[in-house]
Structure 1
Amino acid sequence: MKKHLKVEAIEQGTVIDHIAPGQGIKILKFFELSKGRQRITIGLNLPTYAGEHKDLIKIENTVFDQNQANQLALFAPKATINVIENFEVVKKFKVAIPEQIAGVLICPNSNCISHNEPVDSRFNIKQESGVVKLKCHYCEKSFISEVFKELH
């Protein structure tokens, strides 16, 4: 059986692989990846060798570091980041849920000071019994990660 690429290879950049089906578009919107001038290729519901499906995002001329990649873990906890140079994978790592995230999410508490003051949002993150909880640094209210997925 001949192997065919479903999504075109990129020369330089980042590939976010093993995204759960349906999360690729959410990641694109949430992290505003399409706001830049880099070419982005997105594959939705692509078949895997295991007979399942996944989403995939390729961003040319942009390299994610471990910290940036870990922010994706809230939406795609099983994602793999591939750094590409000259059409080859030169670095590959899995995302991990960070201990803290700043300036990315908006606090769901409308009374939180982060809505009215010129401060970046900041959340401490804990995983308890498989549930990811985020606690706002300012109002100290806790939220499950699913709340943030539905805000955008």
Structure 2
Amino acid sequence: MSEKVYARNVEALKNGTVIDHIPAGLGLRILDLFELTSYGERVTVGLNLSSGHMGNKDLIKVENLVLTEGQANELALLAPKCTVSVIENFEVVRKQKLAIPAEVTDLFACPNSNCVSHVEPVQSHFSVRVTEHDTKMKCKYCEKVFSKDIVVAVR
């Protein structure tokens, strides 16, 4: 009896960025936060794809866009173990190193509903501090400190 072989086909990317190994369920959040669909380029998204070492994962490919070092580092707050590959002429030419940034501006909303950033026309701004067990984020305006997971979860 022969075994069926199943192939998964996702169109190859000529130039752009591939964000892989995103924890399952975060792909759409990353698309939204980083406004990856606003560039007018083709975006390929895979959600809940099977992964040998993660179980399930999400994947994002964006044509003709290379994330800046700052964007890649901000991405590390959501998906610290994801990989960001720069593609040129169908080849991976560079894998961007991710490092959690010391500050994040205009990406997340402050979880404190009484924070002035919700009523004044200011960009959100957090300082980031990595501890042994957690990553803490301090709002510039209300000066409250939150776990990164709480800040990332706020929509």
Normalising by the smaller structure, the TM-score range is 0.7 to 0.9
Aligned: 1:11 with 2:8 = no
TM-score (norm 1): 0.88
- SS of the aligned residue for 1:73 comes to helix
Q: Give, as a single letter, the amino acid of the residue that structure 1 aligns with 2:58.
A: D
Q: Which runs of 5+ in 1 are unaligned?
A: none
Measured in 1, the distance between the counterparts of 2:119 and 2:141 equals 12
- Which has the larger displacement, 14-23 or 125-134? 125-134
Q: Give, as a single letter, the amino acid of the residue that structure 1 aligns with 2:20.
A: D
Q: Give, as a single letter, the amino acid of the residue that structure 2 aligns with 1:122.
A: H
Aligned: 1:57 with 2:55 = no
Alignment equivalent of 1:23, drawn from 20, 23, 26: 26
Measured in 2, the distance between the counterparts of 1:112 and 1:64 equals 30
- SS of the aligned residue for 2:117 comes to helix
Q: Which is higher, the Rg of structure 1 or of structure 2?
A: 2
CA RMSD in angstroms, aligned pairs only: 2.0
How many pairs does the alignment contain? 151
Aligned: 1:70 with 2:73 = yes
- SS of the aligned residue for 1:74 comes to helix
Counterparts of 1:3-152 in structure 2 under 5 Å?
A: 4=7, 6-50=9-53, 52-152=55-155
Q: Give, as a single letter, the amino acid of the residue that structure 1 aligns with 2:148.
A: S
Does the CA contact (< 8 Å) of 1:132 and 1:144 recur in 2?
A: yes
Does the CA contact (< 8 Å) of 1:42 and 1:55 recur in 2?
A: yes
Residue 117 (structure 1) shift: 2.8
List 4+ stretches of structure 1 deviating above 6 A: none
Percentage of identical aligned residues? 50
